[in-house]
Amino acid sequence: MSLSVRYRRRSDSFVLSNGVLLERCEWDSTLFGPAALLDRVSAAAAVKALKRYIAVNDVRVGRRHSYDDFDCYRPLATVGWSLDDPDRFDIDESNSEPVELAVLDDESVVLAVTSGVKSNYDWDHRWPELESLYRGWATHRNLSLRSLQPIVLDRDFVWRAIFSCSSVRDVSLGQLRETGYQAAEIAKSLEEGALSVQSILHLVQGGHCKALIGLPESGELEVKRTIVIDSTNANGLDLPSDVASFCNSRSEALIIIGIATKNQSREDVLDSVHPLPNKLTARRVRGIIQRHVRPAIEGLVVKRIAVDDVGTGDILYIHVPQQRPVLTPFIVSGCVIESKVRQNYIAIPFRRGQDTAFESADYIQNVLAVGLAVSQDRSARNAPAIDQGSAVDPAAASGGETGH
């Protein structure tokens, strides 16, 4: 959508071609309107309009000067969104969303995200785990983390992140708004500590799988662009082996199908989303796991889920809960030998960092020996006992009589 602007010096506002109003507020200048209209506007056009408006209306003269020394966020003009329907939007009454695009007093362009996650500390508090996560995450979106600090909102300290936008070419305002929401969701998921399997699962189930792009794989998270569902194919055993290896690690894990990785700084990071074909159903994926992994996995969840809410497509996730020790080791029936699948062989996979490895023949022999010894001992203890201290009269036992 093109963005046409009517300027008048000392005017209190200018009107866009779609009817959205840019208002000169007491403290700053805000392009504020319903997301249904603003999302389609080119971000480059919006930034150009804001900078032009700043120049025409001498915004710097009337800008706010009450910023705290710790606060590096000094916008001259911003773009704000409302989720109200266009026919119900009211520039004075509609609530703005916690994401805004801004032009700062140094003319840089930033994306400001107020996560809503509370900080129990003061201005000097830092969140190094989220900072580290945001830096890699932002790189994949042509952003860089400028600051992450608590601000006062409704008498509470909450976290706000400022991302510098290196370029807004070929990006819509809607795409930037969605990026801001993803950043907020990551903060909420990380609120209780490290980004756990449960917090990643929360993002995926909430339709925010794109928020994962830029995050690294880990010992509990594995992603695949696609998989092979064919027990006769050498690659068809990869998924059952990965699932069994997580079961043997005795920790919770998550496998996501439909996301590709790339190597960055010697680690694999999630790089791009690739929706799956319809034929790759959750039922087929569950089936190949059940055919090849023994014993049965307790609590296994296999589910397709939408990438987003605009019909882009689906990905699939496999949630592997922590298994009871008594069930281990989990084995995979079938092995690849000389590029051929041998169904009458077994393997015991385990996790080695981010990779799946297989136990040696010595380990398997030891496991079998220990299991056999335990089984024999249990059988011996359960066998009926014979009392050697008493004699049984055969006649009495048979119900007959004895002579005297």
Q: Residue 188 — very low, low, confident or very high, per pLDDT cuts 50/70/90? A: confident
Question: Is residue 126's pLDDT more than 70?
Answer: yes
Q: Span 377-386, mean pLDDT?
A: 66
Gap between the Cα atoms of 295 and 313, Å rounded: 33
Q: Residue 70 — very low, low, confident or very high, per pLDDT cuts 50/70/90? A: very low
Question: Is residue 39's pLDDT more than 50?
Answer: yes
Gap between the Cα atoms of 91 and 357, Å rounded: 59
CATH architecture of structural domain 216-378: 2-Layer Sandwich (3.30)
pLDDT of residue 82: 87
Gap between the Cα atoms of 401 and 295, Å rounded: 57
Q: Residue 19 — very low, low, confident or very high, per pLDDT cuts 50/70/90? A: very low
pLDDT of residue 57: 65
pLDDT of residue 309: 63
pLDDT of residue 139: 86
pLDDT of residue 196: 81
Gap between the Cα atoms of 243 and 257, Å rounded: 13
Question: Is residue 1's pLDDT more than 60?
Answer: no
The DSSP secondary-structure symbol of 308 reads: S
Q: Residue 200 — very low, low, confident or very high, per pLDDT cuts 50/70/90? A: confident
The sign of the dihedral angle between the CA atoms of 244, 245, 251, 252 is negative
- List the single range of 129-143, 192-206, 291-305 with lowest mean pLDDT: 192-206
Q: Name the most confidently modeled range: 130-139, 194-203, 240-249, 334-343.
A: 240-249
Q: Span 67-90, mean pLDDT?
A: 74
DSSP labels, 244-285: HHHHHHTS-EEEEESEEEEEETTEEEEEEE-PPPTTS-HHHH
Q: Residue 403 — very low, low, confident or very high, per pLDDT cuts 50/70/90? A: very low
Q: Span 248-274, mean pLDDT?
A: 90
10: three-class secondary structure by DSSP: coil
Question: Is residue 391's pLDDT more than 50?
Answer: no
Residue 159 makes CB contacts below 8 A (sequence gap 6+) with 114, 115, 117, 118, 119, 127, 130, 148, 149, 150, 151, 187
Contacts 24+ apart (CB under 8 A), 12-16: 14/53, 16/41, 16/49
Instruction: Tally DSSP H helices, then E strands, for the chain.
Output: 10, 19
Q: Span 323-331, mean pLDDT?
A: 93
- The answer to whether 185 and 211 are in contact (CB under 8 A) is yes
- List the single range of 138-152, 236-250, 281-295 with lowest mean pLDDT: 138-152
Q: How many CB atoms lie within 10 A of CB 361?
A: 8
Q: Span 267-285, mean pLDDT?
A: 92
- List the single range of 101-105, 182-186, 275-279, 335-339 with lowest mean pLDDT: 335-339
pLDDT in tens, 78-89: 888 888 888 887
Looking at every residue in the chain, the average pLDDT score rounds to 79
Gap between the Cα atoms of 314 and 98, Å rounded: 27
Gap between the Cα atoms of 143 and 135, Å rounded: 9
Question: Is residue 302's pLDDT more than 90?
Answer: yes
Q: What is the phi/psi pair of residue 368, to 5°?
A: -65, -40
Residue 375 makes CB contacts below 8 A (sequence gap 6+) with none
Token pair 């590029």: residue? 339
Question: Is residue 66's pLDDT more than 50?
Answer: no
Question: Is residue 397's pLDDT more than 70?
Answer: no
pLDDT in tens, 213-237: 888 888 889 999 999 888 778 788 8
The residue among 61 and 271 whose pLDDT is bigger is 271
Gap between the Cα atoms of 316 and 320, Å rounded: 13
The residue among 149 and 18 whose pLDDT is bigger is 149
Ranges of each domain in the chain: 1-194, 216-378
Closest by CA to 159, choosing from 197, 130, 136, 199, is 130
Q: Do you find a cis peptide bond into 329, omega within 30 degrees of 0? A: yes
- List the single range of 6-15, 220-229, 253-262 with lowest mean pLDDT: 6-15
Token pair 């201005």: residue? 123
